[in-house]
Amino acid sequence: MKIAVCIKQVVTREWQLRLNDSKTWVRDQDASFEMNEPDAYALEEALRLKEKHGGEVIVCSAGPARVTQVLREALARGADRAIHVDDEALASADAFAIAEALASAIKDEHVDIVLTGLQSDDQGFAQVGAVLAERLGLAHGTIIMDVQVSDGKVRVKRELEGGWFQWVTMPLPALLTIQSGINQLRYATLKGIMAAKKKEIKKAAAPAGAGARQRIVNLYFPQKTKQTRMLGGSAAEQAKELVRILRDDARVF
């Protein structure tokens, strides 16, 4: 079984965010980066499928040169090889541009399963997986909590709202977006880190004409404000007014 895993490099959660001069993205020149958490769960699920069914795990990422950091980490955890779509413009690209870049890198690999994280920690659109499936012409399932492969088919458990779940059976090849918490993450061992240095990271160019369809006009930090309101009257009147404020003004219920 050949499995492709799409991973993204994002700014670490501990880093103090700063905006760039144009206020269209974070200032990442001095930022620290890590693997997108949902993608880490997708990678772990791919490694478990490989251990159970055999085959190969290929990790793929799109972005500037610094993306090789998370690709090396994925290789150290157990992936067999990596593909890097090297393009500086993909650092803050939208889901359409990223999906086009990943599709161009994966299409000739003829994989059985493509796994992605449900969404990214920075933009959080949860669209790359769905758009990528369309570009590759694959059946796809989202918000996956369990994966079972047998007889050329994949049976998946999808998380729905209100604590409900849905089991779906799909033909292979297929693309699945993995929910965080589906498994227990492993970490790279010293042996894995040493072995990763010898594993291949193939460079690929972004496809021509894969322009973004969305544009970030402005980013800003939420304004923190305080306002104190004194309620007069009797206790019953104060309670009634408080309920009205919470319902009509604050809209908390």
Tell me what pLDDT residue 156 has.
Answer: 96
Measured in degrees and rounded to the nearest 5, phi and psi for residue 129 equal -60, -45
Percentage above 70 pLDDT, the chain: 99
Q: Can you name the residues that pair with 202 across neighbouring β-strands?
A: 83
Can you read off the two tokens belonging to residue 89? Answer: 């413009």
pLDDT band at 207 (very low <50, low <70, confident <90, very high): confident
We report the CATH number of the domain holding residue 151 as: 3.40.50.620
The closest of 115, 126, 32, 109 to 70, measured between CA atoms, is 32
pLDDT tens digits along 188-201: 999 999 999 999 99
Residue 246 domain-assigned (yes or no)? no
Residue 244 domain-assigned (yes or no)? no
3-state secondary structure of 10: strand
124 lies in which domain range?
2-204
Residue partners of 48: CB distance under 8 A and separation at least 6: 183
Q: Tell me if the bond preceding 173 is cis, omega within 30° of 0.
A: yes
Tell me what pLDDT residue 23 has.
Answer: 82
Tell me what pLDDT residue 66 has.
Answer: 92
Tell me what pLDDT residue 210 has.
Answer: 66
pTM of the full predicted structure? Answer: 0.83
Split into its structural domains, the chain has a count of 1
